Amino acid sequence: MGKSVLKVGFIGDIVGKPGRLIIKENLSKLREQYALDLVIANAENASHGFGLTLKNCEELLGYGIDVMTGGNHSFDKKEIFELFKTHPVIRPLNYPEAAPGKGIYRTTVGETKVAVVNLMGHYTMPMVDNPFTKIAPVVTSLKAEGINHIIVDMHAEASAEKNTLLHLFSEDLSAILGTHTHVGTDDLQVTNGCCYVTDVGMTGCRDGVIGMDKEVPMRRFLTGIGGHHDIPDTCKAIFQMVMFELDENGRCVGAEKIKIYDEVSKVITPAWIEK
Its domain, for residue 39, covers: 6-273
Q: Is 73 a catalytic residue?
A: yes
Residue 106 lies in a domain: yes
More confident residue, 141 or 210: 141
The answer to whether residue 1 sits within a structural domain is: no
* pLDDT mean across residues, the chain: 95
pLDDT at 261 > cutoff 70: yes
SS3 letters across the chain: CCCCCEEEEEECCECHHHHHHHHHHHHHHHHHHHCCCEEEEECCCCCCCCCCCHHHHHHHHHHCCCEEECCCCCCCCCCHHHHHHHCCECCCCCCCCCCCCCCEEEEEECCEEEEEEEEECCCCCCCCCCHHHHHHHHHHHHHHCCCCEEEEEEECCCHHHHHHHHHHHCCCCCEEEEECCCCCCCCCEEECCEEEECCCCCEEECCCECCECCHHHHHHHHHCCCCCCCCCCCCCEEEEEEEEEECCCCCEEEEEEEEEECCCEEEEEECEECC
> Within a domain: residue 203?
yes
pLDDT of residue 6: 97
pLDDT above 70 for 1: no
230 belongs to a structural domain: yes
Give the model's confidence band at 2: pLDDT under 50 very low, under 70 low, under 90 confident, else very high: low
pLDDT > 90: percent of the chain: 88
Over residues 34-87, the pLDDT tens digits come to: 999 999 999 999 999 999 999 999 999 999 999 999 999 999 999 999 999 999
Query: Residue 251 pLDDT > 60, yes or no?
Result: yes
CATH number at residue 261: 3.60.21.10
Q: What is the pLDDT of residue 265?
A: 85
Q: Return the pLDDT at 32.
A: 97
- C-alpha 216/C-alpha 221 separation (Å) is 9
Residue 111 inside a domain? The answer is yes
Per-residue confidence (pLDDT) for residue 226, from 0 to 100: 85
What does the pLDDT average to over 3-12? 93
- What does the pLDDT look like over 187-239, one tens digit per residue? 999 999 999 999 999 999 999 998 888 888 889 999 999 888 889 888 999 99
For residue 12, tell me if it sits in a domain.
yes
Q: Is residue 275 predicted with pLDDT exceeding 80?
A: no
What pTM was computed for the model? 0.95
Domain count within the chain: 1
The band of 159, judged by pLDDT with boundaries at 50, 70 and 90, is very high
Instruction: Note whether residue 80 is domain-resident.
Output: yes
Check 48, 73, 228, 229 and give the catalytic one: 73
Residue 250 lies in a domain: yes
According to DSSP, the β-strands at 265-270 and 252-261 are antiparallel
